[in-house]
Amino acid sequence: MKSRLAKESSAGYNIVKTLAQAALFWCLLLFLIPVLILRLETHLGFSPPYNSTLKCVGVGVFCLFGALGVASGTIIAVYGKGTPLPIDCSRHLVVVGPFTYVRNPMAVAGIMQGVAVGLYLSSPLTVLYSLSGAFFWNQFMRPWEEQDLEERFGEEFRQYRKAVRCWIPNLHRYRGKNSDQ
């Protein structure tokens, strides 16, 4: 599968497309599937007690990582001149903002939002579902995405990949060629 560069368009249009993609992601992966998982748990007789602390932690984690995801997507739209999706991908390597600390802040944000939903619902299977998403992304999507980035951006991406970790943020920001865009 080969990614397709976004057509030349305004930052505002790219932001709208990115937010629409995020809304679709949230509705499907962070609402519909967790609701189905919760129904399965209920059907299997697992009914966790109400836990206000878990609900508060879930809301806080969801908001924090939701902001990270939206900010990262917006940065891709503005600086990358595209969207996070491979069918409308960025035209430039993005190494600003959260991307200077971790290679894919959007994947980190999405996984943590899923965990947050699981905490809110007191649903261990939803937390497991979210963590399995991290495994799936790391094993199947990340290699493809990084090969594509290396083909498109060459040595600039190789230096970035060597300096910035994939899942655990660096303590110091990356200061590569385009990190001060």
**Whole-number average pLDDT of the chain:** 91
Mean pLDDT over 73-96 rounds to 88
pTM: 0.89
Higher pLDDT pick, 163 / 181: 163
State the pLDDT at residue 48: 77
With beta carbons less than 8 A apart as the criterion, state whether 75 and 94 touch: yes
- Full set of structural domains in the chain with CATH: 11-163 (1.20.120.1630)
Mean pLDDT over 41-58 rounds to 90
Provide the pLDDT confidence category of residue 8 given band limits of 50, 70 and 90: confident
pLDDT at 181 over 70: no
pLDDT at 180 over 80: no
154: left (phi over 0), alpha (psi -120 to 50) or beta: left
With beta carbons less than 8 A apart as the criterion, state whether 70 and 19 touch: yes
78: how many CB neighbours lie within 10 A of its CB?
19
Q: Give the whole-angstrom CA distance, residue 157 versus residue 151.
A: 9
